[in-house]
Amino acid sequence: MKNSSRRGFMGKAFGAVAGVGAVASLYAMKKTWDPLPSVKAAGFTTLDMSAYKENELVTEKWRGKPIFVLKQNAEMVKKAQSNPKDIERLIKIGDAYYMVCVGLCTHLGCIPGYNPDEQSFLCACHGGRYDSTALVTKAPPPRGLDIPPFKIDGMKLVLGEEGPEYKKMLEAGTTLKV
């Protein structure tokens, strides 16, 4: 500080003011890019689960994303029960098992297509494959399709709310939070 003069002090004072201003501006800019509250609030979809047919993929919409609903037939349930990783992904409503997941490939977000004869999903973008509970059978996808937050309400399923079954899946690491 030996050489500090009044000019030096003014320089440092300006630096301090500019620094505070820069940080504050960056904060404002970051917040301006955030998703709007109206975007975040529009987030619940209710599905009537009695309407689905076995081994027929139906695509619903939740938060702008496609949601796959696949009611499992007896053969698929039997196959899933032989692998704990498969069966824990299914949602049981009444006596039926449903696969409900976000229909975006966990690799880079394309929509995989379902082949009811092979009972498997194929993502055309990079060749990833999933089985009938949407668990990965061929890379590049790093994990099975994500399961959206859900709450079982009789024969209805509310997407966007976190019910006890969903929380259990999160804890077990069956799905990631979306």
Partner 1 sequence: MAHFTKATSLHDWLNQRLGVDTLRRVLATEYWIPKNINFLWAMGMVLAITFGLLLVSGIFLLMYYQPNVNLAFDSVNYTIMQEVDFGWLWRHIHGVAASVVFLVIYIHMFTGIYYGSYKKGREMIWISGMLLFVTFSAEAFSGYMLPWGQMSYWAGMVITNLFSMGGLHMDGLVEWIRGDYVPAQAFLNRFFMLHVLLLPLAILGLIGLHFGALRIPHVNNQDGEEIDFDAEAKKYLSGDKAHSKVIRFANDFMSKDMMVVSIYLIFFFYLVFFHYDFAMDPVNFDPADGLKTPTHIYPEWYFLWSYEILRPFSTNVGLIAFAFAQVIFFMLPFLDRSPNALPASRRGLFKYWFWAMLIDMIVLTAMGKVPPVEPFGTVGFYAALTFIGLWIVLPFITKFEKKL
Q: Which H or E element spans position 157?
A: strand 156-159
Minimal CA–CA distance to 112: which of 126, 100, 98, 99? 126
Q: How far is the CB of 92 from partner 1 (least distance, A)?
A: 27
Q: Segment near partner 1 (CB under 8 A), from 45-53, 86-94, 120-128, 156-164?
A: 120-128
The verdict on 27 binding partner 1 (CB under 8 A) reads no
Q: What's the alpha-carbon Rg for the chain, to the nearest Å?
A: 24
Give the binding-site size for partner 1 (rule: CB under 8 A).
31
Two structure tokens written together for 27: 């904060």
- The answer to whether residue 140 forms part of the interface with partner 1 (CB under 8 A) is yes
Tell the smallest beta-carbon distance from residue 53 to partner 1 (Å): 19
Cα(166)–Cα(178) distance, rounded to whole angstroms? 12
Sheet holding 129-130, edge to edge: 113-115, 120-122, 129-130, 136-138
Among residues 82, 46, 45, 83, the alpha carbon closest in space to that of 64 is found at: 45
Among 96, 110, 158, 170, binds partner 1 (CB under 8 A): 110
Q: Of 79 and 161, which has the nearer Cβ to partner 1?
A: 161
Per-residue contact flags (x/-) with partner 1 for residues 52 to 91, judged by CB under 8 A = -------x-x-xxxx-------------------------
Residues that bind partner 1 (CB under 8 A): 30, 33-36, 39, 59, 61, 63-66, 104, 106-113, 124-127, 139-142, 176, 178
